[in-house]
């Protein structure tokens, strides 16, 4: 099995530094790879620069959709900050309605995968979520 990771940003990919939280390259990717079942390959696209979710809207949603379209047979884990997660989730759920791609959007309050909120069950749930799906078509988002 292969899974597509779209790492767009958010606190999920940050680590503590002397100046507070800051993005840390490879943090999310390493944590997800460690949680994958044996024989599962992770295809990773990390945004550079990572997005501030307060700035995420229709253009970014369409970028997410384009990347999902470019990998039509892969389930998707999308990391996202909390500021606009509800808006992005609503938009993507409409655009992906009936699509064959399973997409699980992930956000975490607090620092990344080494915190209690991210251990065990929630990590496994996100990976199970990405492994499900149905068939259908997708809309484009305007704005």
105: domain CATH number is 3.40.50.1170
In a domain, 140, yes or no: no
In a domain, 137, yes or no: no
In a domain, 77, yes or no: yes
> How does pLDDT run across 32-48, given as a tens digit for each residue?
888 888 999 999 999 99
Mean model confidence pLDDT for the chain: 76
> How does pLDDT run across 90-129, given as a tens digit for each residue?
888 888 887 766 677 665 544 444 443 333 345 445 555 5
Number of domains into which the chain is organized:
1
In a domain, 142, yes or no: no
In a domain, 138, yes or no: no
Q: What angle do CA 25, 1, 7 make, to 5 degrees?
A: 25
Instruction: Please give the Cα distance from 72 to 80 (Å, whole number).
Output: 21
Q: Cβ distance 33 to 43 under 8 Å?
A: no
Q: Name the DSSP class of 59.
A: H
Instruction: Please give the Cα distance from 14 to 53 (Å, whole number).
Output: 14
Domain that holds residue 38: 2-130
In a domain, 66, yes or no: yes
3: pLDDT strictly greater than 60: yes
In a domain, 141, yes or no: no
Count CB atoms within 10 A of the CB of residue 19. 6
In a domain, 117, yes or no: yes
């Amino acid at each position: 099995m292969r899974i597509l990771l779209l790492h767009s940003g958010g606190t999920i990919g940050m680590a503590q530094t002397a100046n507070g939280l800051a993005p840390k390259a490879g943090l999310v990717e390493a944590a997800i790879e460690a949680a994958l079942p044996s024989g599962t390959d992770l295809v990773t696209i990390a945004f550079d620069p990572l997005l501030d979710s307060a700035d995420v809207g229709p253009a970014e949603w369409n970028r997410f959709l384009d990347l999902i379209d470019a990998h039509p047979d892969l389930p998707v884990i999308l990391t996202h900050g909390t500021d606009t997660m509800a808006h992005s989730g609503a938009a993507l759920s409409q655009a992906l309605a009936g699509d064959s791609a399973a997409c699980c959007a992930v956000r975490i309050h607090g620092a990344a995968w080494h915190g209690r909120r991210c251990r065990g069950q929630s990590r496994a749930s996100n990976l199970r979520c990405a492994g499900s799906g149905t068939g259908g078509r997708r809309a484009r988002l305007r704005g």
